[in-house]
């Protein structure tokens, strides 16, 4: 049960950080500066405006942090940590991007 709660918290944290990077007003000047510097159709510009794309990279970091915490506290073996990490990244990214989709606000 605690792992399910931890996964939900991880998904919500990933969704929030993803939204901060690609949709919130506070980071809009940074996104616009990148658009001006590299062009609106550049790979990097498309990457930072796409919440599905950003969620993958945020999930990579958040899932790595979560697996490291589980391993450090002895709650998971090293082999299980690696396998869980490889499965957790896409699951977390998809769930976080799905939350942002359902939230709307474009």
| pTM, 2 dp | 0.87
Q: Per-residue pLDDT for 1 more than 80?
A: no
Q: Which domain holds residue 16?
A: 2-103
- The backbone torsions φ and ψ at residue 97, rounded to the nearest 5 degrees and listed phi first, read -65, -35
**pLDDT confidence bin for 106, thresholds 50/70/90:** low
Q: DSSP readout, 13-39?
A: HHHHHHHHHHT-GGGHHHHHHHHHHH-
**pLDDT confidence bin for 26, thresholds 50/70/90:** very high
pLDDT in tens, 37-71: 998 889 999 899 999 999 999 999 999 999 898 88
- How many independent structural domains does the chain possess? 1
Q: Per-residue pLDDT for 94 more than 90?
A: yes
Q: Looking at residue 9, what is its pLDDT? A: 94
């Amino acid at each position: 049960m605690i792992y399910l709660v931890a996964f939900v918290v991880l998904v919500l944290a990933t969704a929030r950080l993803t939204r901060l990077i690609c949709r919130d007003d506070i980071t809009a000047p940074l996104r616009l500066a990148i658009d001006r510097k590299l062009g609106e159709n550049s790979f990097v510009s498309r990457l930072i405006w796409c919440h599905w794309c950003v969620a993958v990279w945020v999930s990579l970091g958040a899932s790595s942090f979560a697996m490291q915490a589980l391993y450090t506290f002895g709650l998971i073996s090293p082999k299980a940590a690696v396998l869980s990490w490889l499965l957790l990244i896409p699951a977390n990214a998809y769930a976080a991007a799905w939350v942002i989709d359902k939230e709307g606000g474009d």
